[in-house]
Amino acid sequence: MSDKVPAEIAVILTEFVEKVGLLRRDMQQKKELEKYEARMQRIEQKLSALAERVSEDDPDLAKAIRTAWQMPARSLAFRNAAHQKPDGG
């Protein structure tokens, strides 16, 4: 299979991963992550496998997924900045 993920789905997927990444960060800051550490590790494993598979057809989306998970605040900031740029800029 050599088809890119449709742009609309790529955006939704990246936003979803970003939200879970923000939740993980909040749990970590509130010292609640330890209770769910095994579950978060499994989520991270699945996201890593997803990014690896996606990278075969769409390396940019794979990078966006990884960034959304590892650095969700940065991902959100970049998305907001891109959204605020005037068209054609």
pLDDT tens, 27-43? 999 999 999 999 999 99
Q: Does 11 reside within a domain? A: yes
Q: Does 57 reside within a domain? A: yes
Q: The pTM is what? A: 0.79
pLDDT tens, 19-76? 999 999 999 999 999 999 999 999 999 999 999 999 999 999 999 999 999 998 877 7
Our measurement of the distance from residue 53's CA atom to the centroid of its chain's CA atoms, rounded to an integer in Å, reads 14
Q: Does 88 reside within a domain? A: no
Fill in the DSSP letter of residue 35. Answer: G
Neighbours of 79 (CB within 10 A): 16
Q: Does 51 reside within a domain? A: yes
Q: Does 2 reside within a domain? A: no
Count: domains in the chain = 1
Q: Which range marks the domain in which residue 59 is found?
A: 7-77
